[in-house]
Structures are given as structure tokens and as C-alpha cells.
A and B are shown apart, each in its own frame.
Chain A
Amino acid sequence: MGVIVRHKINYAGPMIDKSDIDAVTDAVINGFYENYKDHVTKLEAKLCEILNVKYALAVNSCTAAIHLALASLDLSKHDEIITSDSSCVASALPIHYVGAKAVFVDVEADTQCMSPKSIRKAITSKTKAIVVVHWNGIPANMKEIMHIANEHNLYIIEDAAPSLGAEYNGEKIGTIGDAGCYSFQGAKVAIGGQGGALVTNNKSIYDKARILASYGRTDSKKMYWSDYVGWNYLMPNLPAALALSQISRLDDLVKRKREIFEIYDNNLKDLHRQVILGHEKSGSLATYCYPLLILDDSVNIARNEFVNLLNKKNIDCRVAQPRISKMPMFTEIFSNDNSQKIEDRGVILPSAFNLTKEDVVFVCNSIKEILGGKK
């Protein structure tokens, strides 16, 4: 087989057009002095409009948004908060920041999002909230999860980092629970370079979060007066201008991500015994920000070797996230088999916006070629 030097197939990267360039140029020229938060304010208003929520707070990361959401609830030290074992560690770190105990539950095999059955198993008298992760852009089973939350009087914080634009039974992901958190980091669907947002219909959560995002500053007694210890989680105009421009064509961006996923799905169909792609349930609309493939145990190849072989073809795919509960700062309570399978056998496929159909087909053919010799 001859060596074919091919251009790099990128893992994740945005779609930037003329309107994005104009928006950012406007922010650098005009976004200071009296306009120092214009783009941020417009981004917040636009989020409220497209998501049909009352309040949006632009912040400097999705991690910050989750932290603020949790800090705005009345939690105490021995409270337990349930989240997914298979996720970015950022879903769980804010639970640690607020001093609560993170309880990690397993995910479903199809959506790769937290399984309602596992949640039920994990609930105790100390459980106060669930951080629901819409993992890789696929909506979690919100009907069941909201049912459990109502039954046990739990807060629901949606970690919708890569899921802005996703839907569940016609409702926008991030707006179903008490608060939703999104990321505008550069590898997401709609991006700002860095940044995030917190959305909610709950005035008390919003008011607290807004003050805590700005050093607990209230100016209640005089200027520069803080009544609480808070953080600096404010988003500046530059990334806000880009995020605003991007979410103005969110539907197109989601559509393009779904097209990339569909090419994977169609081309890997005949390998269904060997590889499983995480996918939405009927009634859901995923953003498919990061397609996550699991190698079946019957395939006789180590996951890392599989990733290495694809990397050698200049395909930037990556190993999937390890279980958070096994990281040294957290506690493993349940064995979580599906999460373990993602850790051991999961591969995240490239899905950058600059991928052509030929690029995605090339990735699929490369997978077939590798697995062809490994039956």
C-alpha cells in the first residue's frame, strides 16, 4: 500500500464567515469605554430570544456557569449531587467547588447520557440536585429525569456545554431544568473562542449568579462594595461578539454538524456489530458536536492502537473520556459498566466544520480498513 499524504482531518473547529469577522472587528474598534459591555448584553438578549427564557448571563466558561448555578442554590456541605460518570471532568468540578459530594451514575448505551435507572439507584436522603449532562450534544432522557426530580424534590442543572441548539420533544436543551449551562469554547457548535452562558427562568438563581459572577459586588453601601465573596466570571465583548454572530445562525451550524454525523452513521452502518455510535432517541434533536464511537468487545484490537492507526493517517480522532469517579479527587460508588466501556473502548471521531463529505468518507473507509483485518 502506497503512502498517501493527505491533509489533516481536524477534530473540532468552527465555521467562521464574513459576518463573524465583521462582528469581532466591530467589537475591537467600538467595544470599550461606554460600550464596554454592549456585545455581552446583546448576546444575553439573543440567548433569551432564541431559547425563550427569561434570564441569560454570559460568563467566561461553561464550568463557571455550572459553578454559579450550584452556588445560587441553597446547598450545604453534606449534600449530594448526582452527575454522569462519563463526561468532561468540568461537569463534576463545580460540585467540588461548592463543597458538596459528587455521586457518579452510569450512562445509557444509546445516548451515552445518564440513565434514569442509575439515578434512581443513587438517590439518598442527602441528594439535592442532579447535574444532567447532555453528552457530546445528545439530549439526555429529560422526561424521566424531570419525573425523578419532581418525585424527590431535586434541582436540575443542565450541563449543555456542547448542546446549544439541541432539543428534546420540541423543548430547547438547557431550558428544561432549573438552570442550563452552555459553552462557547472554540471546539463547540457555536463558539466565542472561550466563554459560556447560564440561562434560567428562576429570578432568584439569576440574581445570585449575576452578583457572584462579579465578585459578590452589590454596591449596596457605596461604590465597589461587595456583600459576598464572589468570582470574576465575566465574559468580555470580544468573544461575546463572536458568540452572538454565531448563534444568529445556530440552526445552520447544528444542521451542518448533523450532516457530518449522518455521513458517519450511513457509512459505518454495515459495521454495526463492530462499532456503535452514540445517537439521539426518537423525539430528540442532537447537535452531534462530538461523535463518540465504541469498539465492540468482539473486535480484536486495542482502542489505543485503533486511535494510533487513524492518527497515522492524519485523522485527528481522540480517546474518549475516562470515568470521573475514578479520578483521585472523587469517589467511586457504582461500577457503571457503560461508562467503563466508553473509557476503555470509546473513540471520538473528527467533526470539525471544515470537514468535507470526502473527508468523513475517508475516515469511515479508514475504520473499515483497520477493522477488516481484525474480525
Chain B
Amino acid sequence: MSSIKKMILTAGPSITEKEISYVTDAIINGWNENWNSYITRFEDEFARYVGVNNAITTSSCTGALHLGLLALGIGPGDEVIVPEITWVATASVVTYVGATPVLCDVEEGSWCMSIDSAESLITSKTKAIFPVHLYGHPANMPEIMKLADKYKLKVIEDAAPSIGAEIGGQKTGSFGDVAGFSFQGAKILSTGEGGMLVTNNQSIFDRVKSLGDHGRNPKYPLAAVEVGYKYKMSNLQAALGLAQIERADELVNRKREINALYNKLLSSNDKVKVSSELEGCKSIHWMTSIELIGASFEDRENLMKKLKENMIDSRPVFSPMSSLPMFEKRAENPVSYRIGSSAINLPSGHNLKKSQIDHICDVINHLTS
């Protein structure tokens, strides 16, 4: 254990010669008529990878999801079902368009939206359902699509941390009307900050192109025809993104290897439950996480502190959105409240070494015994 002298960080990308050479080409040549050369290549390659017709780069996944809700026509007075356990962006974007996020519970195992809880919160005002593929595990999209069909709801997927995840062999982001992905610095593929909106719906795609460019009418380049936003990605970041998506299979495999190692080394510890995948699902295990069985919020804080003393950085699983002051609490959502105070993310960056995972698991086994 004593051999670890530098803090083991939770997340970060894998940068190779490919990334460096694409970015170098973009900084030298990506100007004037070539200003968007990598942007279009990245969008095309990303759409092909996910298996959708259209992809458009944005400055963040939050930007993509905001544009997605606007293009779906969600607005004031509408309700959108959002899972409790997610990054604050998912619920925040619903308020950007003037709608109300209605927070439902998550299910055991995947920690993604519970279908029963979501259904119980549907009202006459519900216009859309907003599943999140939390930490890279796919939500139960076949059932969510059935629910949406039954109640005539739009589906927007927060696929931020799930590039490459699958359910029934189909990739996340390709089920709903529209989806957003993230390339923020901690994600499996990174452009520092950045996002991508994907959709199979041509009219949503056309609307988003205009809405994400200050609301400009494509026919008259300088004249805006509606309230729009500025959510653009630079060509430099897109060059990095293209190199990363071309390596997606390798990067997904690496994340899955890390998770398999954690599962193996913590398998005999009955005080922790390591994230795995439900049947029929392929999780990319963006962040391998553990639930500390029976732990209180304070127990979790203590463990994280002790991990840090052992040069291991970790992150708490998100607090339930309905505990934040900006959002309304409509249901008890017990699974979310339990996970939100007793689970943590373990280091899962691409730079993680086998010896570091050994150390982390040794420390966890020792601290929880």
C-alpha cells in the first residue's frame, strides 16, 4: 500500500498520438474555409457510431439537452419526468424552458429511472420523460418507450455518460426522440467540455441547428427569427473528439476491464456492492461505483476521507434532485435517498493502473472489515 505516493484521481481521458496529430492539424489548418472541417467529420462519425441519422456538436451536453427540449416543444406548464439521481443539469434544463421537473425514483441494480415510479407520477400535464443512463449503465429503454407510447409522451435521453452503452444490442441515445451526450473532461471520451445532440427526426435536427446558432434563419445568415442560444463547439475540440470516437471500442473495453477488476477484487466483501450490469444490458462503466451497505451519510463521508488519506480520490453519488432547494419533492423515492447518501464513485480514469486498483481494493477491504 505504501508504494502509492500520488493521489489516484477519479476520472480522465486517454490521449494518444492520434489525438495530438488531429488537434495539431486543426490548429494549423482549421481556419477560414476549413473552420468546421473537424466538426462535420466528428458529427458524421458520431452519428454512425450511435446508429442515428443526425448528430450536432454543442458546447456541452446541457446545451444539447436544452435545445432538445425546445425542439420538442416543451414549455411553461408542462411536466417532465426526471430520475432523482442524476447530475443537476438534467433537472435544470427542464426549468430553462419553463417546465417543471417531476422527480421519480431509480431502480435497484442500474440506478436508472424506475418505470413503476415514473408511471405513478404521470399527470395530464406530463409531456416528456427524461431517462438518464447513469454512470454509463443504460436505462430500461424498451420499457420506457412502451410507457411513452401508452401516455403519448416525448422521450429525451440524457446519455451524457453513456457513449457506447447498449440495451438489447441497441446503443443508448438512439431510442428516444432526441438525446444528448457529454465530452466533459471526466467522460469516457473527452473534448474538455463539449456535447453532442443526436436525433433520427429531421425536423428536430433542423430546428436545433437554428436554435443553437442564436435562432438564425439558415436562409438569411445574420437575421435571427426566434430566441436562440449560442451552444457551439470549436473545431479544435472537434478534432480531439473525432480522434476519441475513432477509438471508442478500445476506450469502452478499457472501462469494462476496470469494472471487472473491481468486481473481482471486492467480490468477497459483503459490506460493499459493486456496480455491474443488468441482463441484456451493456454498461460502459464510466464510473465504477459501490454502495456501502447500510451506511449513513456520515459513514460515507468518513470512508471518503479515509480513502483520501490513502491517496484515493472518490466522489459521492449525486444527492437526490428533490433535496436541492430549486426543485419540488413529489414522491418519497426511497431507493434514490438511500443510494444518494451511501454510494460512491471509485477512480475509473483511463490512466488507472492495475497496481492502483489493487491498492484501492485492499484499502476498501481493510476499511470496511
Spell out B's residues near A (CB within 8 Å).
Answer: 7, 9, 12-13, 15, 19-20, 23-24, 27-28, 31-33, 35, 59-63, 87-89, 92, 95-96, 185, 190-194, 214-216, 220-230, 232-237, 240, 297, 315-316, 318-319, 324-326, 349, 351
Taking CB atoms, residues of chain A closer than 8 Å to B15 are 28-29, 32
Is B12 a contact of A28 with CB atoms below 8 Å? Answer: no
Instruction: Given contacts A16-B31, A63-B214, A236-B192, list 17 more A-B pairs with CB under 8 A.
Output: A10-B33, A25-B23, A61-B59, A63-B229, A63-B230, A89-B222, A192-B234, A223-B316, A224-B319, A225-B324, A227-B325, A229-B95, A232-B60, A232-B61, A232-B193, A239-B237, A327-B225
Is A61 a contact of B232 with CB atoms below 8 Å? Answer: yes
Is A237 a contact of B192 with CB atoms below 8 Å? Answer: yes
Taking CB atoms, residues of chain A closer than 8 Å to B23 are 24-25, 28, 238
Is A25 a contact of B225 with CB atoms below 8 Å? Answer: no
Taking the closest CB of chain A, its distance from the CB of B327, in whole angstroms, is 9
Taking CB atoms, residues of chain B closer than 8 Å to A163 are none
Taking the closest CB of chain B, its distance from the CB of A10, in whole angstroms, is 5
Taking CB atoms, residues of chain A closer than 8 Å to B326 are 216, 226-229
Partner of A33, one of B24, B221, B235, B349: B349
Most A CB contacts (10 A, CB to CB) among B32, B215, B221, B349 go to B32
The answer to whether A292 has its CB under 8 Å from any CB of chain B is no
Measured in the bound complex, the distance between the Cα atoms of B325 and A63 in whole Å is: 27
Taking CB atoms, residues of chain A closer than 8 Å to B234 are 186, 192-195, 238-239
The answer to whether A299 has its CB under 8 Å from any CB of chain B is no
Measured in the bound complex, the distance between the Cα atoms of B35 and A352 in whole Å is: 13
| A30 (CB) vs chain B CBs: closest residue | B15
Taking CB atoms, residues of chain B closer than 8 Å to A216 are 88, 92, 326
Taking the closest CB of chain B, its distance from the CB of A23, in whole angstroms, is 9
Partner of A60, one of B59, B220, B227, B297: B59
Taking CB atoms, residues of chain A closer than 8 Å to B315 are 223-224
Taking CB atoms, residues of chain A closer than 8 Å to B235 are 186, 193
Is B20 a contact of A236 with CB atoms below 8 Å? Answer: no
Measured in the bound complex, the distance between the Cα atoms of B220 and A319 in whole Å is: 10
| B237 (CB) vs chain A CBs: closest residue | A238
| A61 (CB) vs chain B CBs: closest residue | B230
CB contact under 8 A between A186 and B31, given known A24-B236, A235-B193, A236-B193 = yes
Is B214 a contact of A222 with CB atoms below 8 Å? Answer: no
Q: Mask for A88-113, Cβ within 8 A of B = 1, else 0?
A: 11100100110000000000000000
Taking the closest CB of chain A, its distance from the CB of B184, in whole angstroms, is 8
Is B237 a contact of A89 with CB atoms below 8 Å? Answer: no
Partner of A242, one of B7, B19, B27: B27
Taking the closest CB of chain B, its distance from the CB of A147, in whole angstroms, is 32
Is A14 a contact of B31 with CB atoms below 8 Å? Answer: yes
> Can you report 28 A-B residue pairs in the complex whose CB atoms are below 8 A from each other?
A8-B32, A10-B33, A14-B31, A16-B31, A29-B15, A34-B9, A60-B193, A89-B224, A89-B228, A93-B227, A97-B227, A194-B237, A195-B234, A222-B316, A222-B319, A225-B319, A225-B324, A234-B60, A235-B193, A236-B191, A236-B237, A238-B236, A238-B240, A242-B236, A322-B220, A324-B224, A327-B224, A329-B224
Partner of B88, one of A16, A217, A237, A319: A217
Taking CB atoms, residues of chain B closer than 8 Å to A234 are 60, 193
The answer to whether A340 has its CB under 8 Å from any CB of chain B is no
The answer to whether A180 has its CB under 8 Å from any CB of chain B is no
Most B CB contacts (10 A, CB to CB) among A34, A216, A222 go to A222
Residues 171-213 of A contacting B (Cβ, < 8 Å): 185-186, 192-195
Measured in the bound complex, the distance between the Cα atoms of B315 and A36 in whole Å is: 17
Measured in the bound complex, the distance between the Cα atoms of B215 and A31 in whole Å is: 33
Most A CB contacts (10 A, CB to CB) among B220, B236, B319 go to B236
Is A232 a contact of B215 with CB atoms below 8 Å? Answer: no
| A240 (CB) vs chain B CBs: closest residue | B192
Is A194 a contact of B233 with CB atoms below 8 Å? Answer: yes
Taking CB atoms, residues of chain B closer than 8 Å to A231 are 62, 92, 96
Spell out A's residues near B (CB within 8 Å).
Answer: 8, 10, 13-14, 16, 20-21, 24-25, 28-29, 31-34, 36, 60-64, 88-90, 93, 96-97, 185-186, 192-195, 215-217, 222-232, 234-239, 242, 318-322, 324, 327-329, 352, 354
Is A238 a contact of B191 with CB atoms below 8 Å? Answer: yes
The 4 closest A-B CB pairs, nearest first, are A236-B192, A193-B234, A63-B230, A13-B32
| B13 (CB) vs chain A CBs: closest residue | A32
Is B227 a contact of A329 with CB atoms below 8 Å? Answer: yes
Taking CB atoms, residues of chain B closer than 8 Å to A328 are 225-226
CB contact under 8 A between A238 and B192, given known A29-B15, A96-B227, A225-B324 = yes
Is A224 a contact of B316 with CB atoms below 8 Å? Answer: yes
Is B89 a contact of A89 with CB atoms below 8 Å? Answer: no
Measured in the bound complex, the distance between the Cα atoms of B237 and A34 in whole Å is: 19
Is B227 a contact of A186 with CB atoms below 8 Å? Answer: no
Measured in the bound complex, the distance between the Cα atoms of B190 and A215 in whole Å is: 19
Is B28 a contact of A16 with CB atoms below 8 Å? Answer: yes
Taking CB atoms, residues of chain B closer than 8 Å to A36 are 12, 185, 192
Taking CB atoms, residues of chain A closer than 8 Å to B319 are 222, 224-225
CB contact under 8 A between A224 and B236, given known A10-B32, A236-B193 = no
CB contact under 8 A between A193 and B236, given known A24-B23, A215-B89, A327-B225 = yes
CB contact under 8 A between A21 and B28, given known A61-B230, A93-B215, A242-B236 = yes
Measured in the bound complex, the distance between the Cα atoms of B214 and A96 in whole Å is: 12
Taking the closest CB of chain A, its distance from the CB of B317, in whole angstroms, is 9
Measured in the bound complex, the distance between the Cα atoms of B192 and A232 in whole Å is: 13
Taking the closest CB of chain B, its distance from the CB of A68, in whole angstroms, is 12
Measured in the bound complex, the distance between the Cα atoms of B303 and A367 in whole Å is: 73
Partner of B32, one of A20, A89, A352: A352
| B234 (CB) vs chain A CBs: closest residue | A193
| A18 (CB) vs chain B CBs: closest residue | B28
Taking CB atoms, residues of chain B closer than 8 Å to A226 are 88, 92, 324, 326
CB contact under 8 A between A232 and B89, given known A63-B230, A238-B192 = yes
CB contact under 8 A between A90 and B226, given known A8-B33, A186-B35 = no
Measured in the bound complex, the distance between the Cα atoms of B349 and A93 in whole Å is: 39
Measured in the bound complex, the distance between the Cα atoms of B7 and A238 in whole Å is: 24
Is A236 a contact of B89 with CB atoms below 8 Å? Answer: no
Taking CB atoms, residues of chain A closer than 8 Å to B225 are 327-328
Measured in the bound complex, the distance between the Cα atoms of B15 and A238 in whole Å is: 13
Taking CB atoms, residues of chain A closer than 8 Å to B190 are 32
Taking CB atoms, residues of chain A closer than 8 Å to B61 are 232
Taking CB atoms, residues of chain A closer than 8 Å to B13 are 32
Is B351 a contact of A33 with CB atoms below 8 Å? Answer: yes
Most A CB contacts (10 A, CB to CB) among B15, B224, B316 go to B224
